[in-house]
């Protein structure tokens, strides 16, 4: 829009300059009409909706797009000149006036075309520069020397801040690096270097995933599937604006999702949480849809103050420690075949839609609060030992005590 206004001012000044010697008001009106039309067409060409107009990658493409701009402008200029000739003839305008009008038309059109072509050339140069930087930084990330690797990490992330159009591709590169197998534990130095590089990638990415930062400006998908996270994994306050895939992920140390926000689907199916003390913390999170099927939580799993906007799936999940579910479920939730080895606390849970606990195994205390169930609850073929279910929820309840 700013560029369009600049073009308007510049070409209007040119039109006024060319038309100062023209006394016929109709001709001046025609010139002004043509100038404004040229500017509007140039602005549309620059800010148009078609991505192909912006993504010019070669000189041949530049020439082709310039021709596409020039030909309509030239054709329209001819039409305006002919129309002006016919109209001014009826007013008995002199040939010198018509000649000056034609010069003004060509001058205005030429100025608009030159500005557009120069803008296209600049876009090509910028695109080529960004592409080269991306290639160089990716090569740095693949280097064997630790300082070069770290320089590549920081450079790629700074490039992602600048290059919104390719931000997803840069995120994909960094996530794919995190998915790579770790070096052999016997190689202590290599393992420490790798941990530092990966910790830097994760820390810098999460810092950009905070509210108002660059990674929250557009939807970005994060594919951590199959990744092994070592050391504290801290996603607190992160905004996952796209799909978050943690399927088959292994967390060997504590992982924190406090105050995180999952705006789209979050997949944790097949993940393992192996830490023996702190366990998983998911507090004050917001999920659009959550899949925790076949997830194993070896220690405490805290889902307090979590809101799940879409369907949630905890099929075949195993909770070996205490599990707290002060969770607000706004869509169907399914805990079928889930195994609870420790305390399962649903006292503060709110189920607005149907919830299913079919074929669950409860090996310790389980707590429910009847007011929390706003819809139908199914607990059929449930194994409970050694205590019965206090405050049983409404619905089709069949309790089978373990022998």
Give tens-digit pLDDT for 91-100.
444 555 555 5
Q: What is the mean pLDDT of residues 164-173?
A: 94
**Residue 223: beta bridge partners?**
245
- Of 88-92, 97-101, 231-235, 351-355, the range with the lowest mean pLDDT is 88-92
Do residues 68 and 46 lie in contact, with contact meaning Cβ atoms separated by under 8 Å?
A: no
Q: What is the mean pLDDT of residues 190-211?
A: 92
**Confidence (pLDDT) at 45:** 53
pLDDT band at 54 (very low <50, low <70, confident <90, very high): very low
Spatial distance between the Cα atoms of 309 and 311, rounded to a whole number of angstroms? 7
> 2-29: per-residue pLDDT in tens?
455 445 555 555 555 455 444 455 555 5
Strands 286-291 and 355-356: unpaired
Strands 222-223 and 272-273: unpaired
Spatial distance between the Cα atoms of 145 and 293, rounded to a whole number of angstroms? 40
How distant is the alpha carbon of residue 392 from its chain centre? Answer: 42
3-state secondary structure of 322: coil
pTM for the full predicted model: 0.61
pLDDT band at 50 (very low <50, low <70, confident <90, very high): very low
Better-predicted residue by pLDDT, 159 or 118: 159
Quick check: 196 pLDDT over 60?
yes
- CA torsion sign for 388, 393, 394, 398 is negative
pLDDT band at 148 (very low <50, low <70, confident <90, very high): very high
Calculate the average pLDDT of the chain.
75
- Cα angle value 6/10/13 (rounded, 5°): 140
- CA torsion sign for 309, 217, 55, 5 is positive
How distant is the alpha carbon of residue 361 from its chain centre? Answer: 39
Report the greatest alpha carbon distance in the chain. Answer: 112
Contacts of 24 (CB under 8 A, 6+ apart): 88, 91, 93, 97
- Of 20-24, 104-108, 162-166, 274-278, the range with the lowest mean pLDDT is 20-24
**Confidence (pLDDT) at 64:** 59
**Confidence (pLDDT) at 403:** 45
Spatial distance between the Cα atoms of 344 and 218, rounded to a whole number of angstroms? 38
**Confidence (pLDDT) at 251:** 85
Do residues 331 and 308 lie in contact, with contact meaning Cβ atoms separated by under 8 Å?
A: yes
Which of 189-193, 288-292, 317-321, 390-394 has the largest mean confidence?
317-321
Better-predicted residue by pLDDT, 361 or 306: 361
Spatial distance between the Cα atoms of 167 and 218, rounded to a whole number of angstroms? 9
Better-predicted residue by pLDDT, 59 or 302: 302
Please give the structure tokens belonging to residue 115.
């500005």
Better-predicted residue by pLDDT, 205 or 86: 205
- Cα angle value 138/139/144 (rounded, 5°): 120
Quick check: 89 pLDDT over 90?
no
How distant is the alpha carbon of residue 148 from its chain centre? Answer: 28
Better-predicted residue by pLDDT, 117 or 285: 285
Quick check: 325 pLDDT over 60?
yes
pLDDT band at 51 (very low <50, low <70, confident <90, very high): very low
Q: What is the mean pLDDT of residues 310-316?
A: 85
Please give the structure tokens belonging to residue 34.
């043509």
Spatial distance between the Cα atoms of 67 and 18, rounded to a whole number of angstroms? 25
The single-letter DSSP state of residue 7 is: H
**Confidence (pLDDT) at 39:** 58
**Confidence (pLDDT) at 402:** 47
Angle between helices 146-162 and 167-179 (to 10 degrees): 150
Q: What is the mean pLDDT of residues 313-318?
A: 88
Strands 344-346 and 361-362: unpaired
């Amino acid at each position: 829009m700013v560029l369009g206004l600049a073009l308007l001012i510049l070409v209007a000044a040119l039109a006024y300059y060319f038309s100062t010697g023209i006394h016929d008001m109709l001709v001046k009106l025609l010139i002004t009409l043509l100038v404004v039309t040229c500017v509007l067409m140039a602005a549309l060409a620059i800010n148009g909706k078609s991505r192909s107009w912006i993504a010019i990658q070669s000189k041949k493409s530049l020439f082709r797009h310039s021709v596409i701009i020039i030909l309509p402008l030239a054709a329209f200029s001819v039409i305006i000149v002919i129309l002006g000739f016919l109209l001014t003839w009826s007013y008995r305008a002199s040939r010198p006036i018509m000649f000056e009008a034609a010069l003004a038309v060509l001058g205005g059109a030429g100025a608009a075309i030159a500005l557009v072509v120069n803008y296209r050339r600049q876009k090509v140069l910028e695109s080529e520069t960004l592409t080269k930087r991306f290639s160089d930084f990716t090569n740095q990330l693949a280097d064997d020397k630790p300082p070069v690797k770290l320089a590549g990490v920081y450079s790629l992330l700074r490039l992602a801040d600048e290059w919104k159009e390719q931000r997803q591709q840069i995120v994909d590169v960094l996530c794919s690096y995190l998915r790579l197998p770790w070096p052999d534990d016997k190689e202590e130095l290599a393992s420490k270097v790798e941990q530092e590089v990966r910790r830097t990638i994760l820390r810098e990415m999460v810092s950009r995933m905070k509210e108002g930062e660059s990674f929250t400006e557009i939807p970005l998908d994060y594919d951590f599937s199959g990744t092994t996270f070592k050391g504290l994994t801290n996603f607190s306050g992160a905004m996952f604006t796209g799909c978050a895939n943690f399927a088959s992920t292994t967390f060997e140390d504590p992982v924190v999702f406090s105050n995180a926000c999952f705006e789209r689907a979050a997949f944790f199916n097949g993940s393992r949480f192996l830490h023996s003390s702190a366990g998983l913390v998911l507090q004050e999170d917001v999920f659009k849809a959550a899949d925790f099927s076949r997830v194993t939580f070896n220690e405490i799993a805290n889902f307090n103050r979590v809101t799940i906007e879409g369907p949630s799936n905890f099929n075949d999940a195993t909770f070996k420690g205490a599990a707290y579910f002060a969770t607000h479920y706004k869509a169907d939730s399914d805990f079928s075949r889930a195994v609870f080895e420790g305390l399962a606390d649903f006292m503060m849970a709110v189920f607005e839609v149907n919830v299913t606990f079919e074929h669950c195994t409860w090996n310790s205390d389980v707590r429910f609060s009847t007011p929390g169930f706003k819809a139908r609850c199914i607990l059929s073929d449930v194994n409970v030992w050694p205590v019965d279910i206090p405050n049983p929820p409404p619905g089709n309840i069949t309790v089978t005590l373990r022998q």
